[in-house]
Amino acid sequence: AHILVSLLAPDQGEVRFAGGAVTGKEATARMGGMQLVFQDPSEAVSSRLTVLEAVREPLDIMQWQDRQTRDQKAVQAIAAVHLPVTPDFLHRTCHALSGGQRQRIAIARAMATDPVLLIADEITAMLDPSTQAAMLRELKGLQHRKGFSMLFITHDIHLARKAADRVYVLEKGRVVEHGSAFDVFHHPRDQHTHRLLDAAFDHDKS
């Protein structure tokens, strides 16, 4: 994921996106590109910024259109993740938000740029189960409405089953199995996939 958004350089080969090779941060520094949402929203969202400033920031960096249009775009993104758009909330600093609210702000910040690829890197790992479920429903709803592709990275088999159309199973950084979600979860071929599924179901039984 970090190689895709140019936070890390590949040891070899190249990243290709939208028909061309990706160099630098061009794919993340434009509208209609790709965006990464981190597991810990504090990595991407400064606690000193207000809600509106945090979501508008990528548009400010791109100098996309004028300030009023950027404000409107940010407010639309905030509303899309089911957060209030009242003046009181928009001007609240991010350090005053709950963990779930900050993660929604991180998603809104990414969605403000209209990405065609959203990379969600363990974005529910720090949330309680009920908040996890609600956020996944909202994210899938956004995907349905907006039509973007999503790379959903998780250690949680149950979340993967709910989120994925296609699944890639990794062991020590190597893809050991991939295919449709139905095939991988119902007819796994690799022993590592078998172990992951067995562990998840054994935990449920306990």
pLDDT tens for residues 137-185?
Answer: 989 999 999 999 999 999 999 889 989 999 999 999 899 999 999 999 9
Q: Where are the alpha helices (DSSP H) in the chain?
A: 51-62, 67-80, 87-90, 99-111, 129-146, 157-163, 181-186, 191-205
Specify whether the CB–CB gap between 124 and 39 falls below 8 A: no
- Kindly report, residue by residue over 78-136, the tens digit of the pLDDT: 999 999 999 999 999 999 999 889 999 999 999 999 999 999 999 988 888 888 888 89
User: What SS3 state is found at 16?
Assistant: strand
Closest alpha carbon to 107 in 143, 160, 158, 145: 143
Whether residue 52 contacts residue 71, with contact meaning beta carbons closer than 8 Å, is answered with yes
Please give the Cα distance from 67 to 71 (Å, whole number). 6
pTM of the model: 0.90
CA 21 centroid distance within chain: 22
- Residue-wise pLDDT tens digits, 7-30: 898 899 999 998 899 888 889 999
The token pair that represents 132 in the structure block: 């996890």
